[in-house]
Amino acid sequence: MGDLTRHRARDDAPMVSPSSTTGLVEVFRRRHLLGLLVRTTMKSRYQGTLLGWAWSYLQPAVRFCLFYFLFQVMIGRGAETTPNFAIHLFAGMVIIHFFTETFNGGTQSLVANRSLIIKLAMPKELFPVARMLVALWHTGPMMVILVIACVATGWRPDMVGLGAGLLGFAVTMSLGLAVGLTFAVANVYFRDFGKVAQTLTQFVTFSVPMMYPYTLVAERFGETGAHYYLFNPMAEAVLLIQRCFWTGSTDDPAATAAAHLPDDLWSRGFVMLGATLLLLLLAQLLFARLEKGVPERL
Amino acid sequence: MSTVISVEHATKSFTMHYHRSLKQIALAKARGRQTSDTFNAVEDVSFTVGQGESVGLMGLNGSGKSTLLKLISGVMQPDSGSVLTRGRIAGLIATGAGFDLQLSGRDNLWLNAAILGMSRAETARKLDEIVEFADLGKFLDTPVTYYSSGMKARLGFAVAIHVDADIFIADEALAVGDRPFKRKCKQKMEEIVAQGTTMFYVSHAPGSVRKLCNRVLVLEQGRLGFDGGVEEGIHYLHYDDDDEDTQTADDGLGVDI
Ligand SMILES: Nc1ncnc2c1ncn2[C@@H]1O[C@H](COP(=O)(O)OP(=O)(O)O)[C@@H](O)[C@H]1O
Ligand SMILES: [Mg+2]
């Protein structure tokens, strides 16, 4: 038996509140548990399917082919104004999908894990964070398909572009986690927030320059319109991703970037990262205040 | 003997919402009905427990036993007063452990162990022992949804008892187990009490409390009605009146330990 190895708290260890946690910091200390939650969430996702994880490649591949035939072959959209429109659209979709999955998954995460939360003590931030990591994992297959399409059209990775992509993902990650945390706990109090999250994510799809080029915004709403349009962190993130993949896939990357991206793309990007990190901090503070009431309301 | 649990004037109140939607609330308000009601499930409870004590927590259904154990295990926080503990806490609260019903028994085993603070290496080392104790056979790899309540209790107890906890909580956990399993659990609990683990044991069976505990707390509508010796506690509850039948019929295992 394990008697000899039996662990004992030291007599001089301080008495602590058994429910105290340090929030997100503690989540990253408990990586083993976080890893298990990520794996089990993904497992139940493809449960009962014959193809299993192959679906995560099939779905985006089919979607990309559809876009390609619809927009580039059939409609021939934007051959001169927006070259490689399918990549323009798909690059945006990769990051928007990451955001909406983090947002919606995070919102449902506490309610979905009710049976664990009402019986066992653990930092509840674990659940929204696990959903974000699952969403991040799911962008992997989409990335693979995006890169294949990009390489086929002459794209080669450049350091500046990769930096833009990373910055875009960092902004999306902190914003997604911030809204995920907030809505997760709000959804426990009023399930209406789940519906609100779904509605908002639909709105997000149209509020970013992927189904239409960014130039269209300035064209229709003027300089001031475009200025306010870019206050949306996801619009900024999509432009950063397009700097990473789309501009490089066109015949004249420099010209495309000059024509289709705002001049202050980078400075805006860093300001957005700061702003979304601040939002994340506020979300964590709100979560810590409200999570006390979660087990009894589930 | 060092203190491992200290509860001071702890109060936990619950709000019962009779209506959830705006329409229902507005209608109820218009008719002058109450829309919600607040009551104390645990009220101004104070006590301390030293290391190695084995406490029997008794009281009628709804007297706040599970709520008190949720405060001690950190699932809930008191609205006022304080609950402080030292060391690792494991156990089962209310019938059935926390499981993700979609997952297999084995996945839940790993998940539960990790939530209770066991590392990957520790779980791997004890895996065989836990699996053997749960004794679920081939059902270990089927989703927990299909488990009977007894099977869930087996798995939950098997994991919890193998955590090297300083405080072990058993809340009517065994009520649904079959007799051979109950006996195995009792034996294991006696073992960890002998090793100096602090125990919180909820039971309505005087026989098993007598056997396992050296102190009894009695909750009455959320208040601590009694704190003292085992015999006095059982007498306080008048549970000793019909004790003889239970004893003979159940050799101390109790009807529902
Ligand atoms: N989450 C909750 N919301 C509202 N009331 C609750 C909740 N949990 C428990 N209660 C109520 O608190 C009281 C004490 O419950 P409990 O601690 O489970 O009692 P016991 O374990 O002694 O049977 C009961 O009246 C129960 O209905
Ligand atoms: Mg109970």
By mean pLDDT, which of A152-161, B30-39, B44-53, B105-114 is the weakest? B30-39
Q: Which residue has the tokens 């006390």?
A: A292
pLDDT in the model for residue B121: 96
B97: in domain: yes
Mean pLDDT of B64-80: 94
CA–CA separation, A273 and A256 (whole Å): 24
B221: CA distance to ligand 2 center in Å? Answer: 12
CATH number of B227's domain = 3.40.50.300
Distances (CA, A) of B56 to A90, A296, B174, B216: 62, 25, 14, 5
CA–CA separation, A238 and A175 (whole Å): 13
- The pairing of strands B89-92 and B167-171 is parallel
Among A1-10, A72-81, A102-111, the range with the most confident prediction by mean pLDDT is A102-111
pLDDT in the model for residue A79: 61
Contact A18 B73 (CB under 8 A): yes
Contact B86 A122 (CB under 8 A): no
Pocket around ligand 1: residues whose beta carbon is below 6 Å from it?
A: A 296; B 14, 16, 41, 59, 61-67
More confident of the two residues B139 and A4:
B139
Q: What is the pLDDT of residues A17-37, one digit of tens each?
A: 988 888 899 998 999 999 999
Q: What is the pLDDT of residues B234-244, one digit of tens each?
A: 999 887 766 55
Q: What is the pLDDT of residues A48-98, one digit of tens each?
A: 777 777 877 787 788 888 877 877 777 766 666 788 888 999 999 999 999
B63: CA distance to ligand 1 center in Å? Answer: 8
pLDDT in the model for residue A128: 97
For chain B, the domain total comes to 1
Mean pLDDT of B12-25: 84
Q: How confident is the model at residue A8 (pLDDT cuts 50, 70, 90)?
A: low
A13–B contact, CB cutoff 8 A? yes
CA–CA separation, A199 and A231 (whole Å): 20
CB-nearest to A121 from B73, B96, B101 is B73
Ligand minimally distant from the alpha carbon of residue B172: 2
Mean pLDDT of B230-234: 93
Mean pLDDT of A176-181: 97
B135: in domain: yes
Q: What is the pLDDT of chain A when averaged over all its residues? A: 89
Q: Which two tokens mark B48? A: 């301390």
What's the full length of chain A, in residues? Answer: 298
Task: Say if residues A233 and A269 touch (Cβ distance below 8 Å).
Answer: no
**What is the percentage of chain B residues whose pLDDT exceeds 90?**
66
Q: How confident is the model at residue A6 (pLDDT cuts 50, 70, 90)?
A: low
DSSP A156-225: ---HHHHHHHHHHHHHHHHHHHHHHHHHHHHHHH-THHHHHHHHHHHHHHHSSTTSS-HHHHHHHHHHHH
What ipTM goes with this model?
0.89
* Angle of helix A265-290 versus helix A159-189 axis, rounded to 10: 30
CB-nearest to B100 from A14, A33, A116 is A116
pLDDT in the model for residue B257: 41
Task: Say if residues A129 and A176 touch (Cβ distance below 8 Å).
Answer: no
A118–B contact, CB cutoff 8 A? yes
Q: Is A50 exposed, middle or buried (0-12, 13-18, 19+ CB in 10 A)?
A: exposed
Task: Say if residues A168 and A244 touch (Cβ distance below 8 Å).
Answer: yes
Residue B93: other Cβ atoms inside 10 A = 28
User: What do you get for the CA distance between the two ends of chain B, in Å?
Assistant: 28
pLDDT in the model for residue A80: 65
Q: Which atom of ligand 1 is nearest to the CA of B219?
A: 22
**What is the percentage of chain A residues whose pLDDT exceeds 90?**
60
A156: in domain: yes
Mean pLDDT of A208-225: 89
Which amino acid does the sequence have at A6? R
Q: Which two tokens mark A247? A: 């501009």
Q: Residue A15 gets which letter from DSSP?
A: P
Which amino acid does the sequence have at A184? A
CA–CA separation, B158 and B185 (whole Å): 9
A30: in domain: no
Contacts of A228 (CB under 8 A, 6+ apart): none
Q: How far is A131 from chain B (nearest CA, A)?
A: 15
Question: What is the layout of strands, in order, in the sheet containing B198-202?
Answer: B89-92, B167-171, B198-202, B54-58, B215-220, B223-228
Q: Which residue of B has its CA nearest to A13?
A: B86
Q: Which of B64, B88, B90 is nearest to B12 (CA)?
A: B64
Is the pLDDT at A199 greater than 70? The verdict is yes
A168: in domain: yes
pLDDT in the model for residue A238: 97
What's the predicted TM-score (pTM) here? 0.91
- Return the exposure string of A263-292: e unless at least 16 CB atoms fall within 10 Å of the residue's CB, then b: eebbebbeebbebbbebbeebbeebbebbe
Residue B9: other Cβ atoms inside 10 A = 12
A54: in domain: no
CB-nearest to B72 from A18, A113, A117 is A18
In chain A, what residues touch B92 (CB-CB under 8 Å)?
Answer: 119
Q: Which atom of ligand 1 is nearest to the CA of B60?
A: 22
Q: What is the pLDDT of residues B115-156, one digit of tens each?
A: 999 999 999 999 999 999 999 999 999 999 999 988 998 999
In chain B, what residues touch A3 (CB-CB under 8 Å)?
Answer: 195
Q: Which domain holds residue B237?
A: 3-243
pLDDT in the model for residue A10: 62
A52: in domain: no
Contact B103 A44 (CB under 8 A): yes
Q: Which atom of ligand 1 is nearest to the CA of B70?
A: 17
B61: CA distance to ligand 1 center in Å? Answer: 9
Q: How confident is the model at residue B249 (pLDDT cuts 50, 70, 90)?
A: very low
A31–B contact, CB cutoff 8 A? no
Q: How confident is the model at residue B106 (pLDDT cuts 50, 70, 90)?
A: very high
Mean pLDDT of A233-253: 94
- Is residue A152 within a helix (H) or strand (E), and if so which, with residue range? helix A126-152
Query: What is residue B160's three-state secondary structure?
Result: helix
pLDDT in the model for residue B17: 80
Q: Which domain holds residue A165?
A: 60-76+86-291
CB-nearest to B83 from A2, A18, A295 is A18
- How many beta-carbon contacts under 8 Å exist across A and B? 111
Q: Which of B40, B12, B57, B45 is nearest to B224 (CA)?
A: B45
Q: What is the pLDDT of residues A187-198, one digit of tens each?
A: 999 999 999 999
In chain A, what residues touch B51 (CB-CB under 8 Å)?
Answer: 11
In chain A, what residues touch B102 (CB-CB under 8 Å)?
Answer: 44, 47
